[in-house]
Structure 1
Amino acid sequence: MPPRFNVPPTTRALLSILVLQSAVSFAIRYPQWMTGADVVVPYITLVPSLSLIYPWTFLTTTLVENNIFTFVIAGITLFYGGRYLERAWTPIEFAKFLVVASLIPNALTFGTLVFLFAITGNMHWTLTSINGTIPLQISFLVAFSQLVPAHTVTLFRGVISLRVPRSPLIHVLTIIILSLTTILSSASFFLVTNAFMTSWIYLRFYKTTLPDLETSQPSILRGDPSETFAFAEFFPDPVRPAIATLSAQVYQVLVTAKICTPFAQQDLGAARSEAYGQRGAGGAPGGARAEAERRRARALQHLDQRLQAATTGGSKPQAPLPQAPPASVHVQPQPDNQPTMLGETSYIPDREDDKN
């Protein structure tokens, strides 16, 4: 029997829309493209001078690819990245993230191209098509940097080893280089930079975090103030102090303008405790769950002792109950010959004396 791919509903819908819209765009553009004409489809893709009467294109244009190379990359990104994020979050939170990561970068790029036309008078800017999954690609990488900041991706049997928070910057540089060729349009540069900032700001300050009922630590209800998700963490070590200083000044300006709300002290303490617990647990999935189970077993043991003492009254004190065995999390081993698309991943915990 062939293996069944368990694809969550939102990710499945994204893949279906990508295939449908890209096929429609290709069918419309192909006859004119064979004659050498540059054709745009303004009612599916976002074109500044033509798409204002089609407001839905600010969202639909994200799931339209114009060539086979970008289409394959988009399919892989949505399939693997969408499955991971939709399961890590809820489908509703994942859908919110998709809307923010698509709508805002497209609107900012639209305004940038109109501004360039206003100052240069070149119609090329307003006829440039704004389309493709570039905003989602960089946004997924930013989200991975938040969820697994201490993991390393190893490619080609160890030839390339890359920490996850370094991948967004490499992706941005790659898109900038490709935008200078015919593979990507000139709007790609603005899309990737706007989406990079938009996704980080949303995850850092605005995304709602559901309470974790299995841990005793207070939950962070909005945003992520952890030090591992600071903006400077995306950059190499030599320039990180300068980036940290600049981002801190920008943050103070945003707080003064009441655009961003500063984090409360209990949120900062909870973020540090959560990061320390993940380092102590080796970063393995379920480490916090196992610790919660151990605490629950100890609490139940003390409760049983008190109940028995209250029942017996002044009788002979009861012997202490045997301690419950600590809960453990078993990870099902995967076969060695199972192929992977993104290479191997490993966890490298940060040392206590490491200063980022």
Structure 2
Amino acid sequence: MMSSSSPPQPLQASSFYTGFTKLCKGLAVVLVGGFALLQIFPSFLPYLALIPSRTIPFTWNLITAGYIEQSIIGVTISTVGLLLLGKLLEPLWGSKEFLKFIMLVNVLTSICVFVTAIALYYITRQERYLYTPFSGFHGVLSGFLVGIKQILPDQELLKIKAKWMPTLVALISVATSFFTMDSVSYLPTLLFGMYISWIYLRYFQRRPETSLKGDPSDDFSFSSFFPEFLRPVLDPIASLFHLTFCGGSSESSGELGDHTYDGYPLPGSDSIEAIRRRERGARALEQRLAAEKLSAMGKLEGTSHEGAAENV
């Protein structure tokens, strides 16, 4: 078992191809199957993707759009991202909470995209906002990055610390949007996916270890997604989130069990909870990597024994 002072271990290359959960494999089949269905029956796109002008009465688009990829690049990124990020988060959250997170982020992101598209149409009078087919799993994928930032902030993904991955992905997506017209079909979904995920994890996700909601730690605040020099400007804005979702009370995210007095958190209690959460995440990750290593060694030993028996 890893001590609290031990740095998180980088994922081994061999572990990238093993340890995928059954739920993630099932969802990957859904993504690949949805893409294949569109290739066979292209006319199904208006009934499955989110097209704001057709969402009423086709309201099921708010659900199906998140699982429909329109390009081979999109389905590849979504499938690989689901398998790799899912095997980090699902063991820590549990299958039920993991699936709940996906469904919630998917639906709320679609609703936000729909409302934004309608608003942009009335502001700009450009019909492309009404007839662009929005779809893809990238809203949930960006939400996964927010979840990993919360639980395993120092874990390296592609040699970048996980706590900076949501910010980096958002910046790259916004930057590329200035050079391509296709950005309108993916950028809102990606950004709303991050935003909805942060709100849920920050204020509403129930923590089984304490039966309380949310994550009030400073390391998961809204301003933590931005560089240090911007935080004095963003912190007053971030306080509006707390007033909106908690009503200025500690009921949702401020109370911390034994670390409260008259309903108010004691100094340092947020950091204590954040440290405990990260330690649990790091321990779970190390245990899973150790189990995969033992499994791989067992297979190698079995292969060597079979080879020796054949030679005899």
- TM bracket (short chain): 0.7 to 0.9
Supply the distance in 1 between the matched residues of 2:292 and 2:138 (Cα, whole angstroms). 34
Contact (CA 8 Å) 2:121, 2:127: kept in 1 or not?
yes
1:27 aligned partner, one-letter code: I
* Cross-structure match for 1:7: 20
Q: 1:236 aligns with which of 216, 227, 230?
A: 227
Contact (CA 8 Å) 2:152, 2:282: kept in 1 or not?
no
**Is 1:66 matched with 2:70?**
yes
CA 1:98–1:282: 2 relative to 1, 3 Å: closer
Alpha-carbon offset, residue 163 of structure 1: 2.5
CA 1:183–1:8: 2 relative to 1, 3 Å: farther
**Is 1:27 matched with 2:40?**
yes
**Is 1:87 matched with 2:100?**
no
Supply the distance in 2 between the matched residues of 1:231 and 1:222 (Cα, whole angstroms). 17
Supply the distance in 2 between the matched residues of 1:146 and 1:41 (Cα, whole angstroms). 35
Alpha-carbon offset, residue 104 of structure 1: 0.5
Q: Which has the higher contact order (CA 8 A, sep 6+)?
A: 2
2:232 aligned partner, one-letter code: P
3-state SS in 1 of match to 2:144: helix
* Cross-structure match for 1:190: 188
* Cross-structure match for 2:173: 175
* Cross-structure match for 2:142: 138
Supply the distance in 1 between the matched residues of 2:291 and 2:198 (Cα, whole angstroms). 33
Contact (CA 8 Å) 2:214, 2:252: kept in 1 or not?
no
3-state SS in 1 of match to 2:46: coil
Residue by residue, what CA displacement relative to the aligned partner does 1:158-186 show, whole Å, maximum 9, x if unpaired? Answer: xxxx3221110111122223444558441
1:99 aligned partner, one-letter code: M
Identity of aligned residues (%): 23
* Cross-structure match for 1:223: 214
Q: 1:165 aligns with which of 156, 163, 166?
A: 163
Supply the distance in 2 between the matched residues of 1:83 and 1:96 (Cα, whole angstroms). 16
CA 1:47–1:150: 2 relative to 1, 3 Å: same
Supply the distance in 1 between the matched residues of 2:45 and 2:143 (Cα, whole angstroms). 25
CA 1:57–1:333: 2 relative to 1, 3 Å: closer
1:200 aligned partner, one-letter code: W
Residue by residue, what CA displacement relative to the aligned partner does 1:62-120 show, whole Å, maximum 9, x if unpaired? Answer: 12122222221111111111222111111110111001111111111111111122233
CA 1:14–1:183: 2 relative to 1, 3 Å: farther
Q: Give matches, 1:300-339, under 5 Å.
A: none
Alpha-carbon offset, residue 331 of structure 1: 5.1
| Coordinate RMSD, CA, aligned | 3.3
Alpha-carbon offset, residue 56 of structure 1: 2.0
2:170 aligned partner, one-letter code: V
CA 1:102–1:81: 2 relative to 1, 3 Å: same
Contact (CA 8 Å) 2:212, 2:252: kept in 1 or not?
no
Contact (CA 8 Å) 2:202, 2:215: kept in 1 or not?
yes
Supply the distance in 1 between the matched residues of 2:284 and 2:180 (Cα, whole angstroms). 46
Gaps of 5+ in 2: 1-14, 260-264, 298-312
**Is 1:207 matched with 2:205?**
yes
Larger Rg, first or second structure (1 or 2): 1
Alpha-carbon offset, residue 127 of structure 1: 0.2
Contact (CA 8 Å) 1:172, 1:193: kept in 2 or not?
yes
More helix by share: 2
Supply the distance in 1 between the matched residues of 2:61 and 2:200 (Cα, whole angstroms). 22
* Cross-structure match for 1:263: 254
Supply the distance in 2 between the matched residues of 1:283 and 1:98 (Cα, whole angstroms). 19
Supply the distance in 2 between the matched residues of 1:91 and 1:286 (Cα, whole angstroms). 15
Gaps of 5+ in 1: 30-38, 156-161, 212-218, 290-329, 339-356
Alpha-carbon offset, residue 5 of structure 1: 4.3
Supply the distance in 2 between the matched residues of 1:11 and 1:127 (Cα, whole angstroms). 31
Alpha-carbon offset, residue 43 of structure 1: 1.1
Instruction: Return the TM-score normalized by structure 2.
Output: 0.75
* Cross-structure match for 1:248: 239
Contact (CA 8 Å) 2:92, 2:284: kept in 1 or not?
no
Supply the distance in 2 between the matched residues of 1:197 and 1:94 (Cα, whole angstroms). 17
Alpha-carbon offset, residue 333 of structure 1: 9.5
3-state SS in 2 of match to 1:285: helix
CA 1:53–1:284: 2 relative to 1, 3 Å: closer
Q: 1:123 aligns with which of 113, 127, 138?
A: 127
* Cross-structure match for 2:10: none
Q: Give matches, 1:50-65, under 5 Å.
A: 50-65=54-69
Q: How many residues align?
A: 270
* Cross-structure match for 1:304: none
Q: 2:101 aligns with which of 97, 104, 112?
A: 97
Contact (CA 8 Å) 1:220, 1:271: kept in 2 or not?
no
CA 1:332–1:273: 2 relative to 1, 3 Å: same
3-state SS in 2 of match to 1:165: helix
